[in-house]
Structure 1
Amino acid sequence: MVGARALDPVAHGYHGSKKGERETWTTGEFGSSHAGAVGVLLADGTVPAPVVFLSSSGSDSRSVSEWTVYDGEPHGGPRAAVLRGVCSCGWTGPGHTIDWDEIADREAKVAGGGLASACYGDWDTHIGEVARSAVPVPETINGLLDQLDQEIEKVGKDAPLAAVRAVRRLEVLAAQCAYGPAREVAQDLTPEQAAAAIGLNEEEARRHLARLGCFSLYC
């Protein structure tokens, strides 16, 4: 993602879904369309179900699929054999085998941290491929955006209010510039075509265009 990383830092969060709560990675540009995480495979090659943790009263529960709970201990889930990067788009990265003999009695999160980092690296490579497969942004605009990012960061250190106003003007400019193109794309392309071109899933692409073009999703 040459020229994009400074504008689009990776955010780490703890996300809950039907697949269970776990740490996820997203970028500002691709968001939930390409949310990454550490996935788990058991020795038989299957993906384990989320581990359910009951509250002390037994009246509430949490469903967790964070890789560290698959340690084979009584309080956790079945022992993981392989870690791999996964993405909400369906992409899966190469497997990284866990050596439990090497981990021994150490905490899995600490001992297996290197493998988890490798999964993140694989996902980051995938995000680079997503960016390269999307419609290219002219280098003149990329250069201006990078310069603008640097200048606003500088101003923010000495005059934060001026930086805030500058960002507000950017928001207004973005809305004005995007209105016509967003409507044209929505009219000329299918949601599938638009999604592929901007690196989002179809639902997010439709929402993105509707927001920029100020039209209803339900028209």
Structure 2
Amino acid sequence: MGERETWTTEEFGSSHEGAVGVLLADGSVPASVFFGMSSGVGGESVSQWSVYDGASAHGPRAAALRAVCSCGWNGPERRLDWGVIGERKLVEAAGGTADTCMEDWDAHTAEVEDSAIPLPEAVTALLAQLQEEVEKLAKTSPLAAVRAARRLEVTAGQVGYWPAHHARRDTTVEQAAAALGLNEDAARKLMARFGGWSPYR
């Protein structure tokens, strides 16, 4: 896959990395477009949706855009009307369609969050209060806020150690990934980080 703009959330990271995908008229996904260097040596493969405008130096003409996610989810097709687009640059003419794709992906990640194991309201409220207090502290004493953030890191490591070990004993990687809203590799690495073991053993 070539270079393109992607989106992630802080909690789910690369497990749910989104982007605007392209479909051709036959329903297929086009290959990346290679842009060579002016020197003739090297270049870059690009799969950004806006290069698929059918121009000679770009990729084939896109028939539709849709949100895609690294988890395998695909959003609804958003058809492009080339009669309306005309001679305008695709990046300008279909910018609104691309924004709609991002909204589709936002809805997808909201569903992922809803399907993850729920946190008690008391814990959610405490976490929100902690964030608010540290942000407030940062306005008057940035170094104190940094120390508070460091203390939170230490606390997270302490409170996550035994739960990670118990979860490893009682659940499969597949179950942990589903509960955390992550792919299996990310769930394995997260559990290993909190539990203090190698993710490769």
Q: Do both proteins adopt the same fold according to a TM-score greater than 0.5, normalized to the shorter chain?
A: yes
Match of 2:85 among 100, 103, 123: 103
- Give the structure 1 partner of residue 125 of structure 2: 143
3-state SS of paired residue (2:5): strand
Q: Which has the higher helix share?
A: 2
Q: Residue 217 of structure 1: CA displacement?
A: 2.0
Q: Residue 94 of structure 1: CA displacement?
A: 0.4
Match of 2:145 among 163, 169, 190: 163
Distance in 1 between residues matched to 2:44 and 2:191, nearest whole Å: 36
**Where does the alignment leave 5 or more consecutive residues of structure 1 unmatched?**
1-18
Equivalences for 1:69-108 in 2 at 5 Å? 69-108=51-90
Distance in 2 between residues matched to 1:111 and 1:25, nearest whole Å: 21
Deviation beyond 4 Å, 4+ runs, structure 1: none
Equivalences for 1:1-219 in 2 at 5 Å? 19-219=1-201
TM-score, normalised to structure 2's length? 0.97
Q: Residue 157 of structure 1: CA displacement?
A: 1.9
Kindly provide the amino acid, as one letter, of the partner of residue 116 in structure 1: A
Q: Deviations over 1:51-85 (max 9, x none)?
A: 01111122202111000000001110000010000
What is the aligned-residue identity percentage? Answer: 59
Q: Which has the higher strand share?
A: 1
Distance in 2 between residues matched to 1:186 and 1:216, nearest whole Å: 13
Q: Residue 158 of structure 1: CA displacement?
A: 2.1
3-state SS of paired residue (2:6): strand
**Where does the alignment leave 5 or more consecutive residues of structure 2 unmatched?**
none
Distance in 2 between residues matched to 1:199 and 1:97, nearest whole Å: 30
| 1:111 to 1:158, Cα distance in 2 relative to 1, 3 A | farther
Q: Residue 182 of structure 1: CA displacement?
A: 0.6
Aligned-residue Cα RMSD (Å) equals: 1.0
